[in-house]
Structure 1
Amino acid sequence: MLDLTGLGAWRALPFFADELPTLEKRLGADILPPEEKVFAALEQTSPDATRVVILGQDPYHTPGKADGLAFSIPDAFGGKLDSLGNIFKEIQSDTGSKRTKTSLNDWAAQGVLLLNTALTVPPGKPKAHAKLGWDKLVSQVLDRLDSHPRAFIFWGAPAQRYARSLRDHHLVITSPHPSPLSAYRGFFGSRPFSRVNRWLIEQGQEPINWADP
């Protein structure tokens, strides 16, 4: 069973009592990220600390690559960066700053909730858990965050569907997914990082350091 002890205030969401027991039975024995990291995004960024939400698609399906934070890769991974490499290119183009650290835990510590529309994937089978029931959790997370103005970045069609339910006091940025298959369709040049920071400053908040910490 998945460990819920680190969820803090997120633990009160109805999903964990109502939907998770059934979903767990459908997960299978081999999932990515590892079981202890499935809820890492929620564990590292509490509701009250969340200032920015980045919503992606599903975790990396290569063993050793997914760490529970959307788009983040363990610093020791050493393989192809794919989507994250394109994110680094956009950071450089958008802000003039360089990012090389692949683990995005420093973003999470600044209040960036790095969530996917599906929190698990079987090895080598992208999108296989897209209809497993994780959408209920994602909807409840966004509902929980809807009361106060926040910045939301939705990358890719699965993520963009959630933008429709939000109130109009947020900053909402949508673009194609940064994957190598779609980044050239409008992700590059979308300038999400500078746009978020400009909005945060207008709200009287500190900007996010998207570059290396």
Structure 2
Amino acid sequence: MPSPVPVDEFALPASWQGVLAEETAKPYFHQLTEFVAAQRAEHQVFPPAGEVFSALESTPYDKVKVLLLGQDPYHDDNQAHGMCFSVKRGVRVPPSLRNVYKELDADLGIQAPAHGNLQAWADQGVLLLNAVLTVRAHEANSHKGKGWEQFTDAVIRAVNDREQPAVFVFWGNYAKKKLPLIDTTRHAVVQGAHPSPLSAKLFLGSRPFSQIDKSLADLGLPPIDWRLPA
């Protein structure tokens, strides 16, 4: 008997159901749901059930202006909540996000809040998508290669296939591998180093936020208000 899957765990938000229906009907996706359910039965898994698709929930399909691709959810306690680079209020700001905040200040003069919750960006159309959407506690990349990458590639393709243009933001070599999925004649791409401490020297000074806003303007779209509420 297959493991029972919680009803809310893999229910896609309404705006994404139609465009991803073909993907979620594929055998690999069913196997992925069973894998995650089995992992939850035996281990602590992040983000919590019900928050795996927070990025898709926060940024409906027809509202995506910017797609920012992360890699793997944060794997320490209380960090991951379904949006790349973001953590809930009250959780210490992780090193990569601290560097994002440093560059935000250097680029646009926007000072960082005392929290790491990027919900305000998601609400404006920044899809904060990780390539892998679950992880075993304290074990980075532990759910890599289980099917999430195929699913999130389908999310990227779905945004690429829309009539409305968008800006795709790829930080780091892993994200840059997704460039072939993008029709660069219709969409804009902003690439750069990853903000992790390992490559921060290359990330800092790259002015990605200015680049994103210029790309949005070139596409006839309004800029993002990058300020985050205190």
Q: Taking structure 2 as the reference length, what is the TM-score of the superposition? A: 0.86
Measured in 1, the distance between the counterparts of 2:23 and 2:107 equals 37
Measured in 2, the distance between the counterparts of 1:45 and 1:114 equals 8
Report the equivalent of 1:164.
Answer: 180
Report the equivalent of 2:145.
Answer: 131
Report the equivalent of 1:37.
Answer: 51
SS at match of 1:37: coil
1:173-210 CA deviation, whole Å, 9 max, x = no partner?
122221112222x2112211111112222333221011
- 25, 29, 32: which one aligns with 2:34: 25
Cα distance change, pair 6–24 in 1 and its aligned pair in 2 (3 A):
closer
Structure 2 unmatched ranges of 5 or more: none
The 5 Å alignment of 1:64-143 reads 64-77=78-91, 79-100=92-113, 101-143=115-157
Deviation at 1:138, TM superposition (A): 1.3
The 5 Å alignment of 1:38-53 reads 38-53=52-67
SS at match of 1:145: helix
Measured in 1, the distance between the counterparts of 2:180 and 2:200 equals 22
Whether contact under 8 Å (1:75, 1:102) holds in the other structure is yes
Measured in 2, the distance between the counterparts of 1:15 and 1:104 equals 28
Whether contact under 8 Å (2:64, 2:127) holds in the other structure is yes
Sequence identity (%): 37
Whether contact under 8 Å (1:99, 1:210) holds in the other structure is no
Structure 1 unmatched ranges of 5 or more: none
Larger Rg over CA atoms: 2
Instruction: Please tell me whether residue 182 in structure 1 is matched to residue 196 in structure 2.
Output: no
**Number of residue pairs the alignment of both structures matches:** 211
Report the aligned-residue RMSD: 1.5
SS at match of 2:127: strand
Q: Taking structure 1 as the reference length, what is the TM-score of the superposition? A: 0.93
SS at match of 1:67: coil
SS at match of 1:68: coil
Measured in 1, the distance between the counterparts of 2:111 and 2:225 equals 11
